[in-house]
Amino acid sequence: MKLLRYRRLAAGAIGGLAGCAILAFLPSGVECNPVVLAVFCTAYGMLFAALLGTRPLGPGAGLMWALGYAFFTWIAFCAVESARLRFAGDAVTVVEVVRGHFAALAGIVLGSVPVGLAVGSAGGGAPDNRRPFNLARAVCAGGFAGIFGGWAFGKWMEQAGFFPLIAGLVRSDSVRVGVAVHFTIAVFIGATFGLLFQREIRSLGSSLAWGASYGILWWFAGALTLSALLRGMRPDWSAEHAAGAFGSLVGHIVYGVIVGLLYAAVDNVWAWLFERSDPLNREVEGPGALLLASLGRGAAASLVGGLLFSGVMLATGALSRVAQLVGGTSILLGFAVHLAIAALIGATYGLFFHYEALDEAATVAWGTLYGLTWWFLGPLTLFPILLGHTFTWTLAAANAEIPSLIGHLLYGIGLAVTFRALERRHLEELFVDDRLERRWKRLHRPAGTPAPAVCFFFIGMGVVLPIALGQA
Protein backbone atom coordinates (compact mmCIF):
# COMPACT_ATOMS: atom_id res chain seq x y z
CA MET A 1 0.00 0.00 0.00
CA LYS A 2 2.84 2.36 0.86
CA LEU A 3 4.55 1.49 -2.44
CA LEU A 4 1.34 2.37 -4.32
CA ARG A 5 1.18 5.72 -2.53
CA TYR A 6 4.78 6.51 -3.49
CA ARG A 7 4.05 5.48 -7.06
CA ARG A 8 1.11 7.89 -7.20
CA LEU A 9 3.21 10.71 -5.77
CA ALA A 10 5.93 10.00 -8.32
CA ALA A 11 3.31 9.99 -11.09
CA GLY A 12 2.00 13.34 -9.81
CA ALA A 13 5.53 14.80 -9.83
CA ILE A 14 6.20 13.49 -13.36
CA GLY A 15 2.85 14.78 -14.59
CA GLY A 16 3.55 18.15 -13.00
CA LEU A 17 6.93 18.39 -14.72
CA ALA A 18 5.28 17.43 -18.02
CA GLY A 19 2.74 20.21 -17.46
CA CYS A 20 5.63 22.57 -16.71
CA ALA A 21 7.26 21.57 -20.00
CA ILE A 22 4.02 22.33 -21.85
CA LEU A 23 3.73 25.77 -20.28
CA ALA A 24 7.42 26.51 -20.83
CA PHE A 25 7.16 25.44 -24.48
CA LEU A 26 4.08 27.54 -25.20
CA PRO A 27 4.93 31.23 -25.71
CA SER A 28 1.63 32.22 -24.13
CA GLY A 29 0.52 34.97 -21.81
CA VAL A 30 1.75 33.15 -18.69
CA GLU A 31 5.16 34.55 -17.78
CA CYS A 32 7.07 32.98 -14.88
CA ASN A 33 10.63 32.11 -13.82
CA PRO A 34 11.32 28.55 -15.15
CA VAL A 35 12.65 27.31 -11.80
CA VAL A 36 9.68 28.70 -9.89
CA LEU A 37 7.32 27.23 -12.49
CA ALA A 38 8.97 23.78 -12.23
CA VAL A 39 8.75 23.79 -8.42
CA PHE A 40 5.13 24.93 -8.47
CA CYS A 41 4.07 22.35 -11.09
CA THR A 42 5.84 19.51 -9.27
CA ALA A 43 4.22 20.44 -5.96
CA TYR A 44 0.88 20.90 -7.74
CA GLY A 45 1.04 17.40 -9.21
CA MET A 46 2.14 15.74 -5.96
CA LEU A 47 -0.60 17.51 -4.00
CA PHE A 48 -3.16 16.29 -6.52
CA ALA A 49 -1.83 12.74 -6.15
CA ALA A 50 -1.93 12.98 -2.35
CA LEU A 51 -5.47 14.39 -2.22
CA LEU A 52 -7.16 12.50 -5.05
CA GLY A 53 -4.76 9.74 -6.05
CA THR A 54 -6.83 7.04 -4.34
CA ARG A 55 -9.84 7.88 -6.52
CA PRO A 56 -8.70 7.73 -10.18
CA LEU A 57 -8.94 4.24 -11.66
CA GLY A 58 -7.71 5.07 -15.13
CA PRO A 59 -6.40 7.92 -17.30
CA GLY A 60 -9.88 9.20 -18.19
CA ALA A 61 -11.00 9.37 -14.57
CA GLY A 62 -7.70 10.96 -13.59
CA LEU A 63 -8.09 13.55 -16.33
CA MET A 64 -11.55 14.59 -15.13
CA TRP A 65 -10.43 14.82 -11.51
CA ALA A 66 -7.50 16.95 -12.67
CA LEU A 67 -9.78 19.32 -14.61
CA GLY A 68 -11.98 19.80 -11.55
CA TYR A 69 -8.85 20.29 -9.44
CA ALA A 70 -7.53 22.87 -11.94
CA PHE A 71 -10.74 24.89 -11.93
CA PHE A 72 -10.88 24.84 -8.12
CA THR A 73 -7.24 25.99 -7.93
CA TRP A 74 -7.92 28.89 -10.27
CA ILE A 75 -11.10 29.94 -8.44
CA ALA A 76 -9.23 29.84 -5.11
CA PHE A 77 -6.40 31.90 -6.60
CA CYS A 78 -8.85 34.51 -7.96
CA ALA A 79 -10.62 34.69 -4.58
CA VAL A 80 -7.32 35.26 -2.73
CA GLU A 81 -6.18 37.82 -5.30
CA SER A 82 -9.50 39.68 -5.09
CA ALA A 83 -9.27 39.78 -1.30
CA ARG A 84 -5.65 41.02 -1.48
CA LEU A 85 -6.54 43.83 -3.88
CA ARG A 86 -9.51 44.90 -1.79
CA PHE A 87 -7.35 44.90 1.34
CA ALA A 88 -4.84 47.09 -0.50
CA GLY A 89 -7.60 49.57 -1.27
CA ASP A 90 -8.14 48.77 -4.96
CA ALA A 91 -11.80 49.04 -5.98
CA VAL A 92 -11.82 45.95 -8.17
CA THR A 93 -14.67 43.55 -8.86
CA VAL A 94 -14.43 39.79 -8.86
CA VAL A 95 -15.29 39.70 -12.57
CA GLU A 96 -12.36 42.05 -13.31
CA VAL A 97 -10.00 39.77 -11.37
CA VAL A 98 -11.30 36.74 -13.23
CA ARG A 99 -10.81 38.45 -16.60
CA GLY A 100 -7.36 39.66 -15.66
CA HIS A 101 -6.21 36.15 -14.79
CA PHE A 102 -7.88 34.25 -17.62
CA ALA A 103 -4.49 33.29 -19.05
CA ALA A 104 -3.72 31.57 -15.74
CA LEU A 105 -6.90 29.49 -16.13
CA ALA A 106 -5.84 28.29 -19.59
CA GLY A 107 -2.35 27.49 -18.27
CA ILE A 108 -3.60 25.58 -15.23
CA VAL A 109 -6.13 23.59 -17.28
CA LEU A 110 -3.62 22.55 -19.94
CA GLY A 111 -0.86 21.95 -17.38
CA SER A 112 -3.20 19.67 -15.41
CA VAL A 113 -3.82 17.32 -18.35
CA PRO A 114 -0.57 15.30 -17.96
CA VAL A 115 -1.03 15.32 -14.17
CA GLY A 116 -4.43 13.68 -14.42
CA LEU A 117 -3.35 11.19 -17.08
CA ALA A 118 -0.23 10.18 -15.13
CA VAL A 119 -1.88 9.80 -11.73
CA GLY A 120 -4.90 8.05 -13.24
CA SER A 121 -2.64 5.59 -15.05
CA ALA A 122 -0.75 4.89 -11.81
CA GLY A 123 -3.95 3.44 -10.33
CA GLY A 124 -5.99 4.20 -7.25
CA GLY A 125 -6.54 2.38 -4.01
CA ALA A 126 -10.18 1.45 -4.64
CA PRO A 127 -11.07 -1.88 -6.27
CA ASP A 128 -11.73 -1.68 -9.99
CA ASN A 129 -15.19 -3.19 -10.65
CA ARG A 130 -15.71 -1.62 -14.05
CA ARG A 131 -16.36 -3.70 -17.14
CA PRO A 132 -13.36 -4.73 -19.31
CA PHE A 133 -11.99 -2.27 -21.83
CA ASN A 134 -12.68 -2.96 -25.52
CA LEU A 135 -10.35 -1.13 -27.92
CA ALA A 136 -12.39 -1.69 -31.10
CA ARG A 137 -15.60 -0.51 -29.42
CA ALA A 138 -13.92 2.61 -28.05
CA VAL A 139 -12.39 3.69 -31.37
CA CYS A 140 -15.31 2.76 -33.65
CA ALA A 141 -18.09 4.12 -31.44
CA GLY A 142 -16.08 7.23 -30.58
CA GLY A 143 -15.16 7.93 -34.20
CA PHE A 144 -18.78 7.42 -35.29
CA ALA A 145 -20.00 9.86 -32.63
CA GLY A 146 -17.27 12.31 -33.65
CA ILE A 147 -18.59 12.43 -37.22
CA PHE A 148 -22.06 13.57 -36.10
CA GLY A 149 -20.65 15.99 -33.54
CA GLY A 150 -18.38 17.41 -36.23
CA TRP A 151 -21.36 17.83 -38.55
CA ALA A 152 -23.21 19.96 -35.96
CA PHE A 153 -20.10 22.02 -35.17
CA GLY A 154 -19.40 22.36 -38.90
CA LYS A 155 -22.71 24.18 -39.44
CA TRP A 156 -21.45 27.05 -37.32
CA MET A 157 -18.01 26.96 -38.93
CA GLU A 158 -19.60 27.19 -42.37
CA GLN A 159 -21.77 30.09 -41.22
CA ALA A 160 -18.78 31.91 -39.69
CA GLY A 161 -16.52 31.21 -42.69
CA PHE A 162 -13.99 29.27 -40.63
CA PHE A 163 -13.23 26.42 -43.02
CA PRO A 164 -10.52 28.35 -44.94
CA LEU A 165 -8.97 29.18 -41.55
CA ILE A 166 -8.96 25.47 -40.62
CA ALA A 167 -7.45 24.65 -44.00
CA GLY A 168 -4.60 26.98 -43.07
CA LEU A 169 -3.45 24.33 -40.58
CA VAL A 170 -2.20 22.33 -43.58
CA ARG A 171 -1.06 25.37 -45.60
CA SER A 172 -4.20 25.64 -47.75
CA ASP A 173 -7.11 28.03 -48.11
CA SER A 174 -9.58 25.64 -49.77
CA VAL A 175 -12.99 25.21 -48.16
CA ARG A 176 -13.01 21.51 -49.10
CA VAL A 177 -9.64 20.97 -47.49
CA GLY A 178 -10.91 22.78 -44.40
CA VAL A 179 -13.97 20.50 -44.24
CA ALA A 180 -11.73 17.42 -44.55
CA VAL A 181 -9.38 18.65 -41.81
CA HIS A 182 -12.33 19.54 -39.58
CA PHE A 183 -13.89 16.08 -39.82
CA THR A 184 -10.51 14.40 -39.34
CA ILE A 185 -10.06 16.32 -36.09
CA ALA A 186 -13.66 15.56 -35.07
CA VAL A 187 -13.16 11.81 -35.59
CA PHE A 188 -9.85 11.91 -33.70
CA ILE A 189 -11.38 13.69 -30.70
CA GLY A 190 -14.34 11.29 -30.72
CA ALA A 191 -12.03 8.26 -30.81
CA THR A 192 -9.91 9.58 -27.94
CA PHE A 193 -13.12 10.19 -26.00
CA GLY A 194 -13.95 6.51 -26.33
CA LEU A 195 -10.42 5.47 -25.37
CA LEU A 196 -10.36 7.64 -22.26
CA PHE A 197 -13.90 7.31 -20.92
CA GLN A 198 -15.33 3.98 -22.06
CA ARG A 199 -15.01 2.44 -18.60
CA GLU A 200 -16.31 5.57 -16.81
CA ILE A 201 -19.62 5.85 -18.67
CA ARG A 202 -22.65 4.25 -17.05
CA SER A 203 -25.55 6.05 -18.71
CA LEU A 204 -26.48 8.53 -21.42
CA GLY A 205 -26.51 11.32 -18.84
CA SER A 206 -23.00 10.78 -17.51
CA SER A 207 -21.68 10.39 -21.06
CA LEU A 208 -23.31 13.72 -21.97
CA ALA A 209 -21.49 15.35 -19.06
CA TRP A 210 -18.17 13.73 -19.92
CA GLY A 211 -18.54 14.83 -23.55
CA ALA A 212 -19.39 18.46 -22.70
CA SER A 213 -16.43 18.71 -20.31
CA TYR A 214 -14.13 17.12 -22.88
CA GLY A 215 -15.37 19.66 -25.42
CA ILE A 216 -14.42 22.55 -23.11
CA LEU A 217 -10.95 21.05 -22.65
CA TRP A 218 -10.50 20.90 -26.42
CA TRP A 219 -11.58 24.53 -26.69
CA PHE A 220 -8.59 25.47 -24.53
CA ALA A 221 -6.28 23.00 -26.27
CA GLY A 222 -7.50 23.54 -29.83
CA ALA A 223 -9.12 26.91 -30.47
CA LEU A 224 -6.94 28.87 -28.03
CA THR A 225 -3.63 27.02 -28.41
CA LEU A 226 -2.96 24.45 -31.13
CA SER A 227 -4.68 26.38 -33.91
CA ALA A 228 -2.25 29.26 -33.37
CA LEU A 229 0.81 27.02 -32.96
CA LEU A 230 0.10 25.07 -36.15
CA ARG A 231 -0.04 28.35 -38.07
CA GLY A 232 3.28 29.45 -36.56
CA MET A 233 1.71 32.05 -34.30
CA ARG A 234 1.89 32.80 -30.60
CA PRO A 235 -1.10 31.46 -28.60
CA ASP A 236 -3.15 34.23 -27.05
CA TRP A 237 -4.77 33.28 -23.73
CA SER A 238 -6.13 36.73 -22.93
CA ALA A 239 -9.76 37.24 -21.99
CA GLU A 240 -10.20 39.50 -25.03
CA HIS A 241 -9.05 36.79 -27.44
CA ALA A 242 -11.12 34.15 -25.65
CA ALA A 243 -14.17 36.41 -25.94
CA GLY A 244 -13.66 36.49 -29.69
CA ALA A 245 -13.62 32.67 -29.68
CA PHE A 246 -16.84 32.33 -27.65
CA GLY A 247 -18.73 30.91 -30.62
CA SER A 248 -16.13 28.17 -30.84
CA LEU A 249 -16.64 27.45 -27.12
CA VAL A 250 -20.37 26.86 -27.65
CA GLY A 251 -19.56 24.76 -30.70
CA HIS A 252 -17.17 22.59 -28.69
CA ILE A 253 -19.79 22.11 -25.97
CA VAL A 254 -22.50 21.16 -28.49
CA TYR A 255 -20.02 18.85 -30.21
CA GLY A 256 -19.17 17.24 -26.86
CA VAL A 257 -22.82 16.75 -25.91
CA ILE A 258 -23.55 15.01 -29.23
CA VAL A 259 -20.41 12.85 -28.97
CA GLY A 260 -21.25 11.87 -25.41
CA LEU A 261 -24.84 10.90 -26.17
CA LEU A 262 -24.09 9.04 -29.38
CA TYR A 263 -21.07 7.27 -27.93
CA ALA A 264 -23.07 5.99 -24.95
CA ALA A 265 -25.90 4.82 -27.22
CA VAL A 266 -23.61 2.95 -29.63
CA ASP A 267 -21.45 1.62 -26.81
CA ASN A 268 -24.46 0.20 -24.95
CA VAL A 269 -25.90 -1.39 -28.09
CA TRP A 270 -22.50 -2.94 -28.89
CA ALA A 271 -22.11 -4.33 -25.38
CA TRP A 272 -25.70 -5.64 -25.40
CA LEU A 273 -25.22 -7.41 -28.73
CA PHE A 274 -21.76 -8.90 -28.24
CA GLU A 275 -20.68 -8.84 -24.59
CA ARG A 276 -23.34 -8.44 -21.95
CA SER A 277 -24.69 -11.61 -20.37
CA ASP A 278 -26.24 -12.13 -16.95
CA PRO A 279 -28.16 -15.41 -16.81
CA LEU A 280 -28.28 -15.58 -12.99
CA ASN A 281 -29.89 -12.22 -12.25
CA ARG A 282 -33.01 -10.78 -13.79
CA GLU A 283 -33.56 -7.08 -14.26
CA VAL A 284 -35.54 -5.18 -11.64
CA GLU A 285 -37.96 -4.10 -14.38
CA GLY A 286 -38.32 -4.95 -18.05
CA PRO A 287 -36.51 -2.54 -20.42
CA GLY A 288 -39.79 -1.26 -21.88
CA ALA A 289 -41.41 -0.70 -18.50
CA LEU A 290 -38.27 1.02 -17.20
CA LEU A 291 -38.11 3.28 -20.27
CA LEU A 292 -41.75 4.35 -20.05
CA ALA A 293 -41.59 4.84 -16.27
CA SER A 294 -38.45 7.00 -16.54
CA LEU A 295 -39.95 9.12 -19.30
CA GLY A 296 -43.20 9.55 -17.38
CA ARG A 297 -41.59 10.49 -14.07
CA GLY A 298 -39.24 12.90 -15.83
CA ALA A 299 -42.15 14.61 -17.60
CA ALA A 300 -44.10 14.85 -14.33
CA ALA A 301 -41.09 16.20 -12.45
CA SER A 302 -40.62 18.89 -15.10
CA LEU A 303 -43.74 20.65 -13.79
CA VAL A 304 -41.86 21.91 -10.72
CA GLY A 305 -38.81 22.97 -12.71
CA GLY A 306 -40.98 24.56 -15.39
CA LEU A 307 -42.89 26.62 -12.85
CA LEU A 308 -39.65 27.86 -11.29
CA PHE A 309 -38.34 28.81 -14.73
CA SER A 310 -41.61 30.50 -15.71
CA GLY A 311 -41.13 33.12 -12.99
CA VAL A 312 -37.90 34.24 -14.65
CA MET A 313 -39.53 34.17 -18.09
CA LEU A 314 -42.48 36.23 -16.90
CA ALA A 315 -40.17 38.84 -15.37
CA THR A 316 -38.14 39.16 -18.58
CA GLY A 317 -41.02 39.03 -21.04
CA ALA A 318 -39.73 35.80 -22.61
CA LEU A 319 -43.11 34.00 -22.57
CA SER A 320 -44.39 36.03 -25.52
CA ARG A 321 -41.26 35.06 -27.47
CA VAL A 322 -41.92 31.39 -26.70
CA ALA A 323 -45.48 31.78 -28.01
CA GLN A 324 -44.00 32.77 -31.38
CA LEU A 325 -42.95 29.14 -31.84
CA VAL A 326 -46.58 28.31 -32.58
CA GLY A 327 -47.43 31.61 -34.29
CA GLY A 328 -48.86 33.52 -31.32
CA THR A 329 -47.88 36.26 -28.90
CA SER A 330 -50.11 35.57 -25.88
CA ILE A 331 -48.39 35.12 -22.53
CA LEU A 332 -50.78 32.29 -21.63
CA LEU A 333 -49.99 30.53 -24.89
CA GLY A 334 -46.29 31.03 -24.24
CA PHE A 335 -46.71 29.54 -20.78
CA ALA A 336 -48.43 26.46 -22.22
CA VAL A 337 -45.71 26.00 -24.86
CA HIS A 338 -43.05 26.51 -22.20
CA LEU A 339 -44.51 23.74 -20.01
CA ALA A 340 -44.75 21.42 -23.02
CA ILE A 341 -41.07 21.98 -23.84
CA ALA A 342 -40.19 21.54 -20.16
CA ALA A 343 -42.03 18.20 -20.15
CA LEU A 344 -40.08 16.96 -23.17
CA ILE A 345 -36.76 17.95 -21.62
CA GLY A 346 -37.81 16.47 -18.28
CA ALA A 347 -38.67 13.16 -19.94
CA THR A 348 -35.17 12.96 -21.41
CA TYR A 349 -33.70 13.71 -17.97
CA GLY A 350 -35.53 10.70 -16.59
CA LEU A 351 -34.17 8.57 -19.41
CA PHE A 352 -30.58 9.83 -19.13
CA PHE A 353 -30.02 10.12 -15.37
CA HIS A 354 -32.17 7.53 -13.57
CA TYR A 355 -29.05 5.53 -12.62
CA GLU A 356 -26.93 8.52 -11.58
CA ALA A 357 -28.47 10.38 -8.62
CA LEU A 358 -28.11 8.29 -5.45
CA ASP A 359 -28.13 11.15 -2.93
CA GLU A 360 -29.27 14.75 -2.61
CA ALA A 361 -25.91 16.29 -3.57
CA ALA A 362 -25.62 14.20 -6.74
CA THR A 363 -29.25 14.99 -7.58
CA VAL A 364 -28.68 18.75 -7.42
CA ALA A 365 -25.39 18.47 -9.35
CA TRP A 366 -26.82 16.44 -12.23
CA GLY A 367 -29.93 18.64 -12.41
CA THR A 368 -27.86 21.82 -12.51
CA LEU A 369 -25.61 20.33 -15.18
CA TYR A 370 -28.57 19.29 -17.33
CA GLY A 371 -30.24 22.69 -16.99
CA LEU A 372 -26.99 24.43 -17.99
CA THR A 373 -26.61 22.09 -20.97
CA TRP A 374 -30.02 23.11 -22.23
CA TRP A 375 -29.10 26.77 -21.93
CA PHE A 376 -26.44 26.17 -24.58
CA LEU A 377 -28.71 23.91 -26.64
CA GLY A 378 -31.92 25.93 -26.23
CA PRO A 379 -31.84 29.75 -26.40
CA LEU A 380 -28.41 29.88 -28.08
CA THR A 381 -28.98 27.11 -30.63
CA LEU A 382 -32.39 25.48 -31.19
CA PHE A 383 -34.72 28.36 -30.27
CA PRO A 384 -33.47 30.75 -33.00
CA ILE A 385 -33.62 27.90 -35.55
CA LEU A 386 -37.23 27.08 -34.63
CA LEU A 387 -38.12 30.75 -35.11
CA GLY A 388 -36.73 30.59 -38.65
CA HIS A 389 -33.45 32.37 -37.90
CA THR A 390 -29.91 31.07 -37.58
CA PHE A 391 -28.37 30.07 -34.28
CA THR A 392 -26.38 32.77 -32.50
CA TRP A 393 -23.23 31.63 -30.73
CA THR A 394 -22.07 35.14 -29.86
CA LEU A 395 -21.26 36.85 -26.61
CA ALA A 396 -23.94 39.46 -27.29
CA ALA A 397 -26.56 36.71 -27.55
CA ALA A 398 -25.21 34.98 -24.45
CA ASN A 399 -25.30 38.23 -22.43
CA ALA A 400 -28.90 38.82 -23.48
CA GLU A 401 -29.77 35.32 -22.24
CA ILE A 402 -28.14 35.54 -18.78
CA PRO A 403 -31.59 35.71 -17.08
CA SER A 404 -32.49 32.60 -19.05
CA LEU A 405 -29.31 30.96 -17.70
CA ILE A 406 -30.58 31.49 -14.17
CA GLY A 407 -33.97 30.08 -15.17
CA HIS A 408 -32.38 26.98 -16.71
CA LEU A 409 -30.38 26.33 -13.54
CA LEU A 410 -33.53 26.64 -11.41
CA TYR A 411 -35.40 24.39 -13.82
CA GLY A 412 -32.71 21.72 -13.69
CA ILE A 413 -32.57 21.68 -9.89
CA GLY A 414 -36.36 21.57 -9.50
CA LEU A 415 -36.63 18.83 -12.12
CA ALA A 416 -33.93 16.65 -10.57
CA VAL A 417 -35.13 16.95 -6.97
CA THR A 418 -38.74 16.16 -7.93
CA PHE A 419 -37.68 13.25 -10.14
CA ARG A 420 -35.66 11.74 -7.30
CA ALA A 421 -38.65 12.00 -4.96
CA LEU A 422 -40.94 10.30 -7.49
CA GLU A 423 -38.40 7.58 -8.25
CA ARG A 424 -37.68 6.89 -4.58
CA ARG A 425 -41.38 6.43 -3.89
CA HIS A 426 -41.64 4.02 -6.82
CA LEU A 427 -38.63 1.99 -5.66
CA GLU A 428 -40.01 1.64 -2.15
CA GLU A 429 -43.02 -0.09 -3.69
CA LEU A 430 -40.87 -2.17 -6.04
CA PHE A 431 -38.26 -3.57 -3.65
CA VAL A 432 -40.23 -6.35 -2.03
CA ASP A 433 -37.22 -8.62 -2.62
CA ASP A 434 -33.81 -7.67 -1.14
CA ARG A 435 -32.09 -9.19 -4.17
CA LEU A 436 -33.78 -6.69 -6.46
CA GLU A 437 -32.64 -3.79 -4.30
CA ARG A 438 -29.04 -5.01 -4.25
CA ARG A 439 -29.04 -5.41 -8.02
CA TRP A 440 -30.49 -1.92 -8.54
CA LYS A 441 -27.77 -0.40 -6.37
CA ARG A 442 -25.05 -2.18 -8.36
CA LEU A 443 -26.31 -0.41 -11.49
CA HIS A 444 -25.76 3.00 -9.90
CA ARG A 445 -22.54 4.95 -9.88
CA PRO A 446 -20.21 3.79 -7.09
CA ALA A 447 -18.34 6.18 -4.80
CA GLY A 448 -14.93 7.39 -5.94
CA THR A 449 -15.73 8.03 -9.61
CA PRO A 450 -14.96 11.42 -11.18
CA ALA A 451 -18.64 12.39 -11.54
CA PRO A 452 -18.32 15.18 -8.89
CA ALA A 453 -15.31 16.64 -10.69
CA VAL A 454 -17.11 16.53 -14.04
CA CYS A 455 -20.13 18.35 -12.63
CA PHE A 456 -17.95 20.94 -10.88
CA PHE A 457 -15.78 21.58 -13.96
CA PHE A 458 -18.62 21.85 -16.48
CA ILE A 459 -21.00 23.85 -14.28
CA GLY A 460 -18.20 26.17 -13.17
CA MET A 461 -16.90 26.78 -16.67
CA GLY A 462 -20.37 26.97 -18.19
CA VAL A 463 -21.44 29.72 -15.79
CA VAL A 464 -18.17 31.64 -15.29
CA LEU A 465 -16.98 31.84 -18.90
CA PRO A 466 -20.08 33.51 -20.45
CA ILE A 467 -20.27 36.05 -17.61
CA ALA A 468 -16.54 36.82 -17.44
CA LEU A 469 -15.88 36.87 -21.18
CA GLY A 470 -19.01 38.94 -21.76
CA GLN A 471 -17.36 41.78 -19.88
CA ALA A 472 -14.07 41.55 -21.81
C-alpha separations of 185 from 114, 174, 180, 188, 365 in Å = 20, 17, 9, 5, 31
Q: CA-to-CA distance for 108 and 69, rounded, in angstroms?
A: 9
- Residues 270 and 317 both lie in one domain: no
Q: How far is CA 381 from the centre of its chain?
A: 17
Q: What is the pLDDT of residues 329-372, one digit of tens each?
A: 899 999 999 999 999 999 999 888 877 777 788 899 999 999 99
> If you average pLDDT over residues 24-32, what whole number do you get?
62
25-29, 317-321, 386-390: the lowest-pLDDT one: 25-29
Give the per-residue pLDDT at 436: 58
In a domain, 206, yes or no: yes
In a domain, 6, yes or no: yes
Q: Residues near 339 by Cβ (< 8 Å), separated by ≥ 6? A: 302, 303, 306, 310
In a domain, 282, yes or no: no
235 burial type by CB count under 10 A (0-12 exposed, 13-18 middle, 19+ buried): buried
Q: What is the pLDDT of residues 431-455, one digit of tens each?
A: 555 665 665 565 555 555 788 899 9
Phi/psi of residue 292, nearest 5 degrees? -65, -40
Nearest to 225 by CA among 466, 3, 26: 26
In a domain, 280, yes or no: no
- Residues 207 and 318 both lie in one domain: no
In a domain, 199, yes or no: yes
Nearest to 145 by CA among 98, 194, 99: 194
In a domain, 52, yes or no: yes
Domain count, the chain: 3
- What percentage of residues in the chain have a pLDDT greater than 90? 47
Q: Which of 55, 90, 122 is the last residue of a domain?
A: 122
- Residues 27 and 69 both lie in one domain: yes
- Residues 457 and 333 both lie in one domain: yes
Give the per-residue pLDDT at 280: 46
Task: Tell me the pLDDT band of 129, cut-offs 50, 70 and 90.
Answer: low
Q: 310 with 319: CB under 8 angstroms? A: yes
- Residues 109 and 142 both lie in one domain: no
| Max CA pair span of the chain | 70
Q: How far is CA 116 from the centre of its chain?
A: 16
- Apex 317 CA angle, 314 and 318, nearest 5: 90
Q: Which of 101, 122, 143 is the last residue of a domain?
A: 122
In a domain, 439, yes or no: yes
- Residues 151 and 115 both lie in one domain: no
Q: CA-to-CA distance for 240 and 221, rounded, in angstroms?
A: 17
In a domain, 128, yes or no: no
Give me the domain span that covers residue 188. 135-235+242-274
Q: What is the pLDDT of residues 412-421, one digit of tens each?
A: 999 999 998 8
- Residues 315 and 405 both lie in one domain: yes
Other Cβ atoms within 10 Å of 160 Cβ, number: 14
- Residues 162 and 195 both lie in one domain: yes
Q: 20 with 226: CB under 8 angstroms? A: no
Give the per-residue pLDDT at 289: 62
- Residues 223 and 186 both lie in one domain: yes
- Residues 267 and 333 both lie in one domain: no
- Residues 365 and 463 both lie in one domain: yes
Q: 285: helix, coil or strand?
A: coil
- Residues 218 and 359 both lie in one domain: no
Give the per-residue pLDDT at 361: 86
Q: What is the mean pLDDT of the chain?
A: 85
